[in-house]
Structure 1
Amino acid sequence: METTYFTKKDSIVRQIWGKADTILFIFAGAAAEFALNKAVDWLYYTGRLPKDPLGRLFSTVNYAKVIVFAEEKTAFQAIDQMNKIHAKIEENRGFKIPDWAYRDVLFMLIDYSIRAFEALERKLTLHEKEEVFQVFLKVGKGMKIADLPTNFKDWEIQRRSQLQDNFEYSDFTKDLFLQYKKHLGIIRYRLLLEAQILMAPKRIKELLNFRNQSILIAIIPFYRLSRIFKIDYILKELILPKDYKSDIKALDHSAAH
């Protein structure tokens, strides 16, 4: 009997999530949005986020990657495990994580999947964007998240609305960016900020007081060239924190399966 996977073998989502480069840009965008979300106190509740912000973000991104490439049954088991982890945190704290906070994280993964691929590779067609949306909609339904849009066009409308309503600059934001700086060091931290400037929607840029254009726009063509000549690993060795190098290399392996 043929194995059923969570995403089709020829899916654009596999192309997006099959390369460490793209995932790192998704990670950078997520790092900015996590810090601004009005529900960020939930991420601080266990104390694990401020202690290891990069590790916590990697685990979120890694969960998404595992689900994208897994067999359908395994993917739904991973989603179920995520539900149990959240339920335990809610039980310990004594109240529920709001539905809109779950939607925010799901929407963030959809948005930055598209933005990262378009920044590094090419523009996606509307059909491909719809495909990205539908894969993550399946994740959202597995997590029993309420009030999800049913197609990409409706998602765009909801995304604009939640960007206006659910984000603010707070003491948590300030602290989290200080933690990023501390864990990355000044040069890598500057690179993170440039990636965020490149990736962030207008509303996120406004809240973080970012300028409009990233200097990475000028560098990306050279990076693409380095990939053609197979010397991009030299750049990665220079810019990646050594504690996460094995994590990042592992991200690159999934596309082949």
Structure 2
Amino acid sequence: MQYFVEKKSIVRKIWGKSDTILFIFAGAAAEFALNKAVDWLYFTGKLPADPLGRLFSTVRYARKIVFSSMEEANKAIDTMRQIHTAVEQNRGAAIPDWAYRDVLFMLIHYSIASYELLEKKLSDEEKEEVHHVFYRVGARMGLKDLPLTYTAWLPVRQAHLIEDLQKSTYTADLFKQYKKHLGAMRFKVLIEGQKLVVPDSVKKLLQFSDFSLLTPVVPLYKVSRLMKMDWLLKNILLPSDYKDQINELDVEPD
């Protein structure tokens, strides 16, 4: 059977651990709150009404692509495109192509940043592999002007960060919703976690300091994983309604 992502791929390692995935979407939650196209998620009302539910819905699609056969993964990508097309038809406008690219670029950046934070630095070849997987996702969705290589992607990503982000009323409201659904303590953990993976330009717009309270905690967390004690920290920090879904994100290596 041909898989969309080969079994030995670094992308499977990245997307096979719940804590890495949570950092990916913590970072994306911060950056997307600044995106100039965030009003599209307010059009449906789903993100502000249930940001955590939206997170797990997105995770399910991403993981279906990473761990499925070529045929099943392509079906998942096609379904994503159909869902967005339906939203466009209901609104009577098209989601800008750059907005689709921004989301794809976030998945590339935060996949790499989160894995390097919790595991180890990736080689140039592994970064290229991460880029290639999401490049293929974008190509299947029909996106234009996608950089062909990781090296070519870097300046394009930087340009998107400069051109497509701004602090707005949507930014403030989204962070308000994150706090409402997470609670004050978990929201504080979210902010400190976001500081560890977001680019400097995102930190500046959100007025984040360079120092994160989680910086000294990360090495201790790595040790807790080796001792199989990370479940205790997750039980403390994560909403009880989502613990089962979070635990299901861990995939045993082949």
Q: How far apart are 1:58 and its partner, in Å?
A: 2.4
Deviations 1:83-112 (A, max 9, x none): 110010000000100000000000000000
Q: How far apart are 1:118 and its partner, in Å?
A: 0.4
Q: How far apart are 1:64 and its partner, in Å?
A: 1.1
Secondary structure of 1:36's counterpart equals: coil
Matched length = 254
Aligned 1:42-81 pairs, distance under 5 A: 42-81=40-79
Distance in 2 between residues matched to 1:78 and 1:29, nearest whole Å? 23
Match of 1:86 in 2: 84
Choose which of 125, 146, 149 in structure 1 pairs with 2:123: 125
Match of 1:19 in 2: 17
Q: How far apart are 1:57 and its partner, in Å?
A: 2.3
Q: How far apart are 1:66 and its partner, in Å?
A: 1.4
> Do residues 221 (structure 1) and 209 (structure 2) align?
no
Deviations 1:190-224 (A, max 9, x none): 00000101111011000000001212110011111
Aligned 1:1-257 pairs, distance under 5 A: 3-253=1-251, 255-256=252-253
Structure 1 stretch 42-51 or stretch 98-107: which is displaced more?
42-51
Distance in 1 between residues matched to 2:189 and 2:155, nearest whole Å? 31
Distance in 2 between residues matched to 1:190 and 1:88, nearest whole Å? 36
Preserved contact between residue 106 and residue 140 of structure 1 (Cα < 8 Å): yes
Structure 1 stretch 73-82 or stretch 46-55: which is displaced more?
46-55
Structure 1 runs of 4+ with >3 Å offset:
none
Deviations 1:21-52 (A, max 9, x none): 10010010011011111000001101111110
Preserved contact between residue 27 and residue 58 of structure 1 (Cα < 8 Å): no
Q: What amino acid is the match of 1:219?
A: V
Distance in 1 between residues matched to 2:55 and 2:228, nearest whole Å? 28
Distance in 1 between residues matched to 2:133 and 2:45, nearest whole Å? 31
What is the TM-score normalised by the length of structure 1?
Answer: 0.97
Distance in 2 between residues matched to 1:66 and 1:4, nearest whole Å? 14
Distance in 1 between residues matched to 2:202 and 2:135, nearest whole Å? 23
Deviations 1:134-158 (A, max 9, x none): 0000100011111100000110010
Structure 1 stretch 243-252 or stretch 37-46: which is displaced more?
243-252
| Identity value in percent | 56
Q: What amino acid is the match of 2:148?
A: T
Deviations 1:107-142 (A, max 9, x none): 000000000000001110111000000000010001
CA root-mean-square deviation: 0.9
Distance in 1 between residues matched to 2:148 and 2:57, nearest whole Å? 27
Distance in 2 between residues matched to 1:103 and 1:213, nearest whole Å? 29
What is the TM-score normalised by the length of structure 2?
Answer: 0.98
Q: How far apart are 1:61 and its partner, in Å?
A: 2.6
